[in-house]
Copies of this chain bind each other. A is one copy, B any other.
């Protein structure tokens, strides 16, 4: 570790490495999936060739904040600019990175259009979460992934979050299937429809082609849902 030591010229102590990692969820073929990237090979690299969450060092010259850094990494991997992005927590200790004391700031993102937008400087793949949690990921990324899945599931019951996992407009049956995918169990159709409309998360977006090619009402999230789902105190610039 001594070759990774850092000395400040004015504040005389070693500084930890500071990174951001993003757990990016979407739904593909009715499965909750997460984006994984393969670590580069090479003797100098930590965890060479292992799968990991996308992320990397904060660039103090590029990133105005931790949140901005997460947005940059999300954009680089998915091309998506402003989906749902929430801070999950920090993991920092002396041993999680062989290069030295490091802390990472994990965010989780929900996106609705995964198919063609992964661009790759490193090999990347969407993997069903069921499989991803059984892989031995680099660093402590398996813990981060588990925490992110728990956070997402704990919020599904009382928020509009799953709607961020769908391209808009969507039908109510499509939205119900996404709730069911995240929760891992079936929901009653009429109770779901009533709950969604009572909660007033959605607005009508005109007729679309629904299941079996039949016309159905399309919906999208109301603007205020996009504005309010971010927890207070965690947005950049507050």
Which chain A residues have a beta carbon within 8 Å of chain B's beta carbons?
3-11, 13-18, 57-61, 63-66, 68, 87-95, 99-101, 103, 105, 140, 143-144, 146-147, 150, 232-234, 236-238
Contacts and interface: CB of A to CB of B under 8 A. Distances in A.
11 contacts: A3-B9, A6-B8, A6-B11, A11-B99, A13-B57, A14-B60, A16-B58, A58-B101, A60-B100, A66-B90, A147-B233
Contact of A65 (B9, B17, B93, B146): B93
A122 B137 CA distance: 44
B4 A10 contact: yes
A9 B5 contact: yes
Question: What 8 pairs between A and B have smallest CB-CB spacing?
Answer: A147-B233, A65-B93, A66-B92, A60-B101, A15-B15, A3-B10, A6-B8, A16-B18
A118 to B, nearest CB: 26
A4 B14 contact: no
Q: Which of A65, A88, A93 has the most CB of B within 10 A?
A: A93
Contacts of A61: 14
A18 B7 CA distance: 13
A146 to B, nearest CB: 7
Given A6-B9, A15-B16, A65-B94, 7 more contacts: A4-B9, A5-B9, A58-B103, A65-B93, A103-B105, A150-B232, A150-B233
Given A11-B17, A16-B58, A143-B238, A64 B93 contact: yes
Contact of A4 (B11, B68, B94): B11
A93 B71 CA distance: 14
Contact of A17 (B15, B59, B63, B144): B15
Contact of A87 (B89, B100, B146, B234): B89
Contacts of A60: 13-16, 94, 100-101
